[in-house]
Structure 1
Amino acid sequence: MSALAKAVELHRAGRLAEAERAYRRILDSDPDNADALQLLGVIANQAGRPAAAAELIRKALAVNPGHADAHCNLGAALLELGDLRGADAAFRRALEINPAISEALNNLGNIARQQDRPEEAAENYRRALQYAPGIAETHSNLGVVLHIMGRFVDAEACFRQALKINPDNAEAHANLAATLLQTGRLKEGWAENEWRWRKKNFPSPARNFPQPRWDGSPLDGKTLLLHAEQGFGDTILFIRYAPLCAERGGRVVVECQPQLKRLLTGVDGIDELAAQGEQLPPFDVHLPMASLPLIFETTLDSIPPCSGHIKADPALCEEWQGRLPKMQGRKIGLVWQGNKAQKKDRTRSLPLTMLAPLLEIPSISFVSLQKGDGEDQIGAHRLANPVSGINDFADTAAITMLLDLVICVDTATAHLAAALGKPTWVLLEHVPDWRYMQDGETSPWFLSMRLFRQSAPGDWKGVVADVKRALGA
């Protein structure tokens, strides 16, 4: 067996450090060995060093410009660097040399998906599966874009095929969870959702407490820690389970995001609050909040009620009453932009200019509840802008209680307003998050919500027209 073959064998076995040393020994005697150069680049990319990977692979291509695998691996490194244009060119060059490289096709699908071209992505994934039908990742990726296209039955079939090939594929499990929840099969969806912790780049790392995870059994005086995960809206959504936890006979401590601590003060079932980063009090068992529906075996018929379980501070309401300008007619809060750091924000948010038909209605006074991203769009638009005085969600809750209606995209403000029991109209992308289900004007999670859905991907104009008609204008 050649030195290169031995190095590749080590690489395939996952013995990356040994493989790297083997590749470097080959390059010591043969500095222009294109295979060793580009495979050393692959190891660098696997080790989280994509810039070094790209440099090594480009050296390999300088030696052998016709090396199809090197072009493909260069594309993978450029993807990690966020250079979608360069990655696209590299994958296409690889396919010009060898049209059967399934990895290049799969990655072209990933690029098309990131750029909101799901039909093109699906076509690339299908072509990849023609050459490599046994790759679980590609089946799961195809399922994701089919879900985005609203083809839930086909998406589910893809995820299940991926899991048939690789039962431990965390991405496929988590993607299947989203489809199950979207289509109302909550009990199975919650179980699949437990795989979220093993997803690559999951935004809330698992908490490795020495105390055991709570299994829902009677607490018998023990202290349960419920800890927030993911976004503000998720915490507001799942905090409704606190009273149910308290009914199991124990003390309930909640760790939440600092911006929510004042808001959650006084929620039934919570004995003590701690903000993330603060010292936690002693506890006996713990549970991440998004696992609460699994523990309580929540179905569409048993979702705990939420309206009014979060309350605004009366003193803050009075304070904001004096700070807001005098307004005539109906008072409506607006939010048009979510957190840009969220992957789906580019499809769930819209520019404020698209709401101009609403702002023109003379009998309504609009109030901006937009904080952070999107705030710079207000300019000369006709709406009050109190956000400079908003410190956290307790302030937003107080302002919300002074309004007649909140109109917003899918953000934490939507969850907050509905949890307060305030009429809330939510503007939704064509296939929204699972909690809004797949059709209808209502959400089983929030009784005071009215949903306005895109009839086609990107059709915010139609949504705004529907809202204007609903306002009677």
Structure 2
Amino acid sequence: MFSTAMTSPIESAASSLSPAERFYRRGNGAFQREDWPAAAGFYRQALELDPAHGTAWLNLGLCLRRQGHIEAAYGCTLRAQELMPDDPTVLTNLGNILVDLYRAEEAVACHKRAVAQRPDDIRMVRNLILALREAGRFEESLTACDRYLEQEPEHNQVLWERAQALFYLERYPEAWTTFEHRWQRAAIREQLPADLAFWQGEDLSGKTILVFEEQGFGDKILCARYIPLLAARGATVTLLCNPALHGLFSTLPGKVTAEVTEPEAFDYAVAMMSLPGLFGTDPTREAPPPPPPLMSKAKLPERLQQRLDAGNGRWKIGIVWSGNPAFYNNSKRAASVEHFLPLAQIPGVQLYSLQKGPNEGDLAQAGGSGLVIELGPYLKNFAQTAAILQQLDLTIMTDSGIAHLAGSLGLPIWNLLHYRPYWLYGSTGETTPWYPSMRLFRQPTPGDWDSVFDAVAEELKRSQ
């Protein structure tokens, strides 16, 4: 939470400001442009001149946190707290950093102190809700949501967090209902005709329905299982989704497209993530519908097939260490590629990297090129990835879209979970009803990947 330490939008004349204050305000300008290195530089210059400038320490900590320098951010925020011990903005930022450092209980205490002073500040309330969830205190997280909703019943951000708490509590009917409030902030609905009816479970015999994607690739693959159920009710289905999924979804009933020019021509529309609730999915009572048949026989380019065949009879194991870095919680769910490299030392094992995106280069930086055969740079879409997975003996990875893909194909997948994973996987256990072929390996304590990989290595040695 950014602090300007100004009580009025009217700034004093530059000549009346101290040199430290001038640097501080230049830092604020850079901060608002999201130029974190420049802002940090100005705040440091301000602090050289005035080490007792509390908000400069606070904002420097924010810049460092945005750049991933969590320990340094913590130190700066502690300096701010020394100067402003009861300031709620300092307390809530300190709480956020403590969550980053896997110290959720201490974070909750900080956020509670902040909210006690500003109970109507939604940013501070939401920070408390998130910290309670990270601490596994789901009932308290739900209570905090409900308390705020008493004064602002339609606040979409709090309703979203309420749905997450309900999912973790496995109160699925109520969770799915609350989850629908996300459309108060969804841009996709604004792009559709106002008179287009959203499907709420009506008879679909002879009707047309537009199903549109939302959220990450994993969620789209997860919810593909409901497309055949719509068709079974008599609907003609059109699925609007990312072209990278078109080949994979080509086996689903209906049409798959990247563009719809006349959405008003459909009788109904529905979002993919609304389908589990509309079909009454409650894994505590009954297993979710099984994943549908997906295209997994795509012909691979010769160069890609050659790399796959280079294992020389070894046990072929695919690895992925990071999901989309833009995902808000990716820093917790992702592991480092260095954690995977010792698996290549196990006799008879050949690792294949399926990593895509900005983290592809991690392997070379860690010195793993050659030891691990890289396939990621050659993969163009999910149908190709599915064809690769079919030829592997096992996939071991941290949670992301490919885990959902392997699970949907019914292939062996070891999904390595951080301490507070996606609600889909619950809080305990080695299995999930959503993907029977998936085995879950969980962090025993927050941030403890070492124990996870020790367990994986031992299990690999036993499995050969």
Do the two structures share a fold, i.e. TM-score over 0.5? yes
Deviates further, 391-400 or 343-352: 343-352
Question: Which of the residues 309, 314, 317 maps onto 1:325?
Answer: 309
Q: Matched residues in 2 for 1:72 and 1:297: separation?
A: 50
Match in the other structure for 1:297: 280
- What are the Cα deviations for residues 35-79 of structure 1, in whole angstroms up to 9, with x where unaligned? xx99xx9xx99xx7788xx9xxx9xx99xx999998799789969
Match in the other structure for 2:297: 313
> For the Cα contact (< 8 Å) 2:394–2:412, is it kept in 1?
yes
Match in the other structure for 2:233: 248
> For the Cα contact (< 8 Å) 2:315–2:350, is it kept in 1?
yes
> For the Cα contact (< 8 Å) 2:418–2:447, is it kept in 1?
yes
Match in the other structure for 1:102: 88
Match in the other structure for 2:179: 193
- TM-score, normalised relative to structure 1: 0.78
* Corresponding residue SS for 1:373: helix
Gaps of 5+ in 1: 1-7, 9-18
Deviates further, 437-446 or 137-146: 137-146
Cα distance change on mapping 1:89 and 1:448 into 2, 3 Å: closer
Q: Matched residues in 2 for 1:450 and 1:66: separation?
A: 52
Q: Matched residues in 1 for 2:139 and 2:331: separation?
A: 25
Cα distance change on mapping 1:318 and 1:171 into 2, 3 Å: same
- What are the Cα deviations for residues 149-193 of structure 1, in whole angstroms up to 9, with x where unaligned? 223233223222232343233222212211221232111111222
Q: Matched residues in 2 for 1:291 and 1:447: separation?
A: 22
Question: Which of the residues 427, 434, 449 maps onto 1:460?
Answer: 449
Deviates further, 450-459 or 210-219: 210-219
- What are the Cα deviations for residues 192-228 of structure 1, in whole angstroms up to 9, with x where unaligned? 22233446xx7x7544311222222112322111111
Alignment of 1:81-96 (within 5 A): none
Structure 2 counterpart of 1:110, one-letter code: N
Alignment length, in residue pairs?
A: 433
- What are the Cα deviations for residues 258-283 of structure 1, in whole angstroms up to 9, with x where unaligned? 2111111012x3x11112x5656742
Question: Which of the residues 110, 114, 120 maps onto 1:128?
Answer: 114
Q: Matched residues in 2 for 1:352 and 1:89: separation?
A: 28
- What are the Cα deviations for residues 444-466 of structure 1, in whole angstroms up to 9, with x where unaligned? 21111110001011111111111
Q: Matched residues in 1 for 2:273 and 2:226: separation?
A: 10
Cα distance change on mapping 1:105 and 1:319 into 2, 3 Å: closer
Report whether the alignment pairs 1:262 with 2:247.
yes
RMSD of Structure 2 on Structure 1 (CA): 4.0
Question: Which of the residues 347, 364, 375 maps onto 1:362?
Answer: 347
Match in the other structure for 2:397: 408
Structure 2 counterpart of 1:258, one-letter code: P
> For the Cα contact (< 8 Å) 2:132–2:141, is it kept in 1?
yes
> For the Cα contact (< 8 Å) 1:320–1:399, is it kept in 2?
no
* Corresponding residue SS for 1:465: helix
Cα distance change on mapping 1:33 and 1:304 into 2, 3 Å: same
Q: Matched residues in 2 for 1:397 and 1:351: separation?
A: 24
Cα distance change on mapping 1:468 and 1:177 into 2, 3 Å: same
> For the Cα contact (< 8 Å) 1:317–1:399, is it kept in 2?
no
Amino-acid identity (%): 34
Alignment of 1:439-454 (within 5 A): 439-454=428-443
Q: Matched residues in 2 for 1:340 and 1:254: separation?
A: 27
Q: Matched residues in 2 for 1:428 and 1:381: separation?
A: 27
> For the Cα contact (< 8 Å) 1:84–1:111, is it kept in 2?
no
Cα distance change on mapping 1:396 and 1:97 into 2, 3 Å: closer
> For the Cα contact (< 8 Å) 1:338–1:411, is it kept in 2?
yes
Structure 1 counterpart of 2:325, one-letter code: K
Match in the other structure for 2:338: 353
Cα distance change on mapping 1:131 and 1:152 into 2, 3 Å: same
